[in-house]
């Protein structure tokens, strides 16, 4: 509703009173919708369970048997209902439940088993600046010498064939939104018509039967409202892939011509710099027997794109979490370190496609490369130095130190042979008192001890 109110106010210039009457809402709701694309959070209701759920697989089996049965000896809804009562004791199931489920499921099973009608293809004509297609494709790269599966985001204009690509380590919602921002900025505008999508979870929360209706995710609804994007969702399965064949073929062409042989890079940023260069070079390519190149068609299409919004959209996933006793925050099942002085406090995390940023108020306190695997951790040794000054015995077995050594960031890796540097000597400040630097990478402020006693950050010299 918020997206529809903002669209009518932007495109039709309706007043707040007209919008309130059209959507049967109050003036306050209209004002909130025009102020922000994000509606106020509502209480989430638990998902409803159906009494038919334990018997759905049984019904599916009956309908699959019907595919090879004589036409006049197949299960009717009444026969399915009576078999559930007589053979499986489904006393709590009603006839209406079975009827509604069989009505839609019978057709789905025919399609799943390849018994549907023959597929036909209709040639399509596209107007300049009107339509585009979006999809992800799997690619393999050698990332720092390790074979890694990544995901190629592609947004392709249907008229000119101009495509913008970017490679991410995952295909979740953050890469999905960041890919849109990168592509729309590179194109310099937004298609005025519809953009075709499949039913990926980053945009679609639920597919409603065999219709085109979808329940969209909240962040995606706010994003497309911000950029004035009109979404069009294809049918699930192989049938839907044919509805956006342009981007499907474009991903395959890009993968065969630019990612063969498998690229060897140190970082994804290095690879995406190459991807941007390849996109520019592809402007000189002709698609099939077209008389002009992609770049020439795009120059005619660029002025017809809708302008970009003046404000940026936060594509990262923002959450507030509490720092645990290990000096870590948990985001999407993974753990990241923060300075130990923040233990027990609430901090704000912003999860982007390739990194996580942690804020204490308005101040950035930590920045990590995003982890993709579940249950992993990424720890910075510097975040634990304040605690290691008080607990020096925990340093040799510290996980943060082990990760630093594995990444070549050990505080002792620069010494010859990787040995621990020589311990600094004590400096006499006053009779009977001594002070020296800590053996860690920071200096212990005002750390003093008596001669012959053990200092708090290491053994006595």
State residue 461's pLDDT score.
Answer: 40
Q: Confirm whether 176 is domain-assigned.
A: yes
C-alpha of 323 from chain center: 24
Which of the listed residues 373, 406, 439 is the one where a domain comes to its end? 406
Q: Confirm whether 40 is domain-assigned.
A: no
- Its domain, for residue 65, covers 53-112
In tens, the pLDDT along 173-194 reads 999 999 999 999 999 999 999 9
- Residues with Cβ < 8 Å from 142, sequence gap 6 or more? 148, 262, 263, 264, 265
State residue 450's pLDDT score.
Answer: 44
State residue 115's pLDDT score.
Answer: 80
Q: Confirm whether 300 is domain-assigned.
A: yes
Say what the alpha-carbon torsion angle 31, 34, 40, 42 is, to the nearest 10 degrees. 90
- Residues with Cβ < 8 Å from 442, sequence gap 6 or more? 385, 389
Q: How many CB atoms lie within 10 A of CB 423?
A: 13
State residue 134's pLDDT score.
Answer: 95
Average pLDDT, the chain: 85
One domain for residues 271 and 198: yes
Highest mean pLDDT among 234-248, 262-276, 393-407: 262-276
Q: Confirm whether 46 is domain-assigned.
A: no
State residue 372's pLDDT score.
Answer: 82
One domain for residues 216 and 265: yes
One domain for residues 143 and 232: yes
State residue 147's pLDDT score.
Answer: 93
Which of the listed residues 265, 283, 304 is the one where a domain comes to its end? 304
- Please answer whether residues 300 and 128 qualify as being in contact, where contact means their C-beta atoms are separated by less than 8 angstroms: yes
One domain for residues 70 and 144: no
Phi, psi angles (nearest 5°) of residue 424: -65, 155
pLDDT range class, residue 451, cuts 50, 70, 90: very low
One domain for residues 149 and 291: yes
Looking at the structure of the chain, the number of domains it has is: 4
> Model pTM?
0.63
Q: Confirm whether 442 is domain-assigned.
A: no
One domain for residues 223 and 284: yes
One domain for residues 155 and 289: yes
In tens, the pLDDT along 86-105 reads 999 999 999 999 999 999 89
One domain for residues 139 and 23: no
One domain for residues 28 and 97: no
One domain for residues 62 and 155: no
One domain for residues 148 and 187: yes
In tens, the pLDDT along 329-366 reads 999 899 999 999 999 999 999 999 999 999 999 999 99
Q: Confirm whether 337 is domain-assigned.
A: yes
One domain for residues 335 and 391: yes
In tens, the pLDDT along 119-169 reads 567 788 899 999 999 999 999 999 989 999 999 999 999 999 999 999 999
Handedness of CA 434, 387, 393, 400 (dihedral sign): negative
């Amino acid at each position: 509703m918020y997206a529809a109110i903002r669209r009518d106010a932007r495109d039709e210039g309706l007043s707040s009173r007209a919008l309130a009457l059209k959507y049967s809402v109050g003036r306050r709701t209209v004002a909130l919708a025009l102020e922000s694309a994000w509606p106020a959070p509502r209480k989430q209701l638990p998902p409803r369970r159906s009494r038919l759920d334990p018997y759905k697989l049984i019904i599916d089996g009956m309908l699959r048997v019907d595919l090879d049965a004589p036409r006049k000896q197949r299960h009717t809804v009444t026969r399915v209902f009576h078999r559930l009562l007589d053979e499986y004791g489904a006393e709590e199931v009603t006839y209406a439940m079975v009827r509604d489920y069989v009505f839609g499921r019978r057709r789905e099973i025919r399609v799943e088993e390849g018994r549907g009608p023959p597929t036909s293809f209709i040639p399509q004509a596209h107007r300049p600046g009107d339509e585009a297609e979006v999809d992800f494709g799997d690619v393999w790269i050698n990332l720092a010498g390790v074979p890694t599966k990544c995901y190629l985001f592609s947004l392709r204009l249907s008229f000119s064939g101009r495509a913008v690509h970017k490679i991410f380590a995952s295909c979740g919602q953050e890469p999905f939104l960041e890919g849109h921002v990168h592509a729309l900025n590179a194109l310099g505008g937004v298609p005025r018509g519809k953009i075709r999508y499949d039913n990926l979870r980053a945009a679609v929360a639920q597919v409603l039967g065999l219709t085109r209706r979808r329940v969209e995710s909240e962040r995606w609804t706010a994003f497309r409202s911000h950029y004035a994007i009109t979404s069009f969702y294809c049918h699930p399965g192989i049938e839907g892939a044919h509805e956006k064949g342009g981007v499907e073929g474009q991903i395959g062409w890009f993968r065969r011509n630019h990612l063969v042989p498998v690229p060897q890079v140190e970082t994804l940023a290095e690879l995406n710099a190459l991807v941007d260069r390849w996109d520019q070079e592809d402007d000189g390519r002709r698609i099939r027997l077209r008389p002009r190149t992609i770049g020439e068609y795009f120059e005619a299409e660029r002025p017809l794109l809708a302008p970009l919004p003046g404000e940026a959209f936060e594509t990262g996933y923002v959450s507030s979490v509490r720092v645990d006793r290990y000096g870590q925050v948990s985001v999407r099942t993974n753990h990241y370190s923060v300075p130990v002085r923040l233990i027990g406090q609430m901090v704000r995390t912003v999860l982007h496609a390739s990194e996580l940023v942690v804020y204490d108020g308005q101040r950035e306190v930590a920045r990590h490369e995003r982890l993709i695997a579940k249950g992993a951790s990424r720890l910075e040794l510097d975040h634990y130095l304040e605690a290691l000054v008080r607990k020096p015995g925990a340093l040799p077995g510290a996980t943060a130190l082990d990760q630093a050594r594995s990444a070549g960031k050990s505080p002792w890796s620069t010494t010859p042979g990787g040995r621990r540097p020589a311990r600094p000597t004590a400096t006499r400040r006053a009779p009977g008192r001594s002070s020296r630097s800590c053996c860690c990478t920071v200096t212990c402020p005002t750390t003093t001890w008596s001669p012959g006693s053990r200092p708090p950050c290491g053994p006595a010299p």
